[in-house]
Amino acid sequence: MTEDEFRPTNFIRQIVEKDLRLDQHTLVHTRFPPEPNGYLHIGHAKAICLNFGIAKDYQGQCNLRFDDTNPLQENIEFVESIKRDVEWLRVGWNGKICYASDYFNKLYQYAVELISKGLAYVDELSSEQIREYRGSLMLPGKDSPYRNRSVQENLLLFENMRNGHFNEGNACLRAKINMASPFMVMRDPVLYRIKFAQHYRTGHKWCIYPMYDFTHCISDALEGITHSFCTLEFQDNRRLYDWVLDNITIACHPRQYEFSRLNLEYTVMSKRKLNQLVKEKYVEGWDDPRMPTLSGLRRRGYTADSIREFCKRIGVTKQENYIEMTALESCIREDLSKNAPHAMAVIEPVRVIIENIDIGEEMLLTLPNHPNKPEMGNRKVLFSRDIYIDRADFREKAKKQYKRLVLGKEVRLRHAYVIKATRIKKDSLGRIIIIFCSYEAATLSRNPLDGRKVPGVIHWVSAAHALPAEIRLYDHLFNVPNPTAERDFITTMNSSSLVIKHGFVEPSLVEAKPEQAYQFEREGYFCSDSLYSSVDHLVFNRTVTLRNTWSKSGVKTSLK
């Protein structure tokens, strides 16, 4: 079968295929238009995969465009982070990067055209008065007292706005549409506002800036976009999108289509809320591994392949729903299960002394880097008298269901020997500090010679050779599936979303590259932290636990 036969279908692909079949378009041209006012999150990944995927599958083009019309919130840091994330997802854009700010001169001229046609006017109501005059869903709006100014007066006033003759908030440019429209967006929306702020690209050249709804449709048209995909909250805005393009002199008229945004459990997807978490220091930054940002997920150990697979599985629909976090975790587990090399690490160490091994004696063991992929090679690990095991892998007494080390009983060390716990040493507080054991030399990767079976297997590291490491155990950032449903989403934050442990890892992990993933056997999937880890201070982030408990669908249709 060809790749096309495996291609998922959805209502948007059906629209594109129909347009091509009817020769409405000969080339599909899409765009991904983020505002550079924050880092991209996994919801943007859904939009990226849709826009770039459509362009690739139908031999079209996709632009990367920054809708940068708000100088107060946008900066070059966000631009560079977005470029990195798009490149990381391996969905290259066509041609040069586009910016709405490149079109400021043209946008201004289109605003002048609307004024000249009597379709826009300068309003001197305050923002509070504009909201009051706009009415409500139950009540129609009422006309501004400035609505019927002459074309000549509006042209002069708009020029005065551009030249800085008004203070911020004292004037704006509004479209003249219908204050009684049942759609709030059509009740004389603001097209330009005054902001005496330096733009990161145009500096102080402008003191008036176009609104998103005015800019976006014109930018699409100027770039020759054929299909403008956006999320459902812009459904009503499509009327304004079409109104602007219908009333200016422009050759291209793209069509807007809406799909449901991504809602993911146990996190927030609002840039405003994510920005609050960063600004108020509830997280370390936009790339905190607990954040749903692509940079945060990447630092936590998620791969581009796993993100793209997740977006493929959840699909594209018009139905609002919540996706279970376990659906995302399933994608990274499947990826890392196939591709991550194995290693051993002890997160909460307790010392084990194997008394029938001579002091100073060492055995060099050969361990596979992946049990199912011999092509990934082997590694050498030293085994010695003193080792560390995880504290949770030992009990003085335990029931039969406990398959790890118990005082007086045996267990197998992973890739090594069978040991038996003979006695223990405790500190003054009664905490076990040493477990004394014996081993059977003939049991290296085999059962005892008398045929008895040792059911349990635990992992270990050599105390003399293992390297100390900081192990960061990450969990959900919030305690409830839908934090935005609460009055104050901050109150639902999980105080245990980050637990830091100090353990030991195999010596080979000193060479771990930033964000290099490993399966720490019996512990989970981890990666080297790209920010904090160094040769002198190893830091590993838990990407996800080993166990997969996600539901079959991974989708919850309720948004309550």
How many C-beta atoms surround the C-beta of residue 547 within 10 A? 8
d(CA 191, CA 210): 6
What does DSSP say about strands 172-175 and 322-323: parallel, antiparallel, or unpaired?
unpaired
Query: Residues 187, 238, 271, 308: which is the catalytic one?
Result: 271
d(CA 50, CA 86): 13
Q: Who's near 487: CB < 8 A, 6+ residues apart?
A: none
What does DSSP say about strands 378-384 and 362-368: parallel, antiparallel, or unpaired?
antiparallel
Burial of residue 135 (number of CB atoms within 10 Å: 0-12, 13-18, 19+): middle
Q: Which two tokens stand for residue 416?
A: 């090594």
Q: Which two tokens stand for residue 223?
A: 């770039």
Q: Is 205 a catalytic residue?
A: no
Q: Is 35 a catalytic residue?
A: yes
What does DSSP say about strands 386-390 and 255-259: parallel, antiparallel, or unpaired?
unpaired
Burial of residue 493 (number of CB atoms within 10 Å: 0-12, 13-18, 19+): middle
Q: Where are the alpha helices (DSSP H) in 22-75?
A: 42-57
Burial of residue 29 (number of CB atoms within 10 Å: 0-12, 13-18, 19+): buried
Pairs from 101-104 (Cβ < 8 Å, separation ≥ 24):
101/66, 101/68, 101/69, 101/199, 101/201, 101/202, 103/215, 103/218, 103/219, 103/222, 104/202, 104/205, 104/206, 104/210
Q: Is 271 a catalytic residue?
A: yes
Query: Residues 84, 261, 391, 409: which is the catalytic one?
Result: 261
Active-site annotation, residues: 35, 261, 271
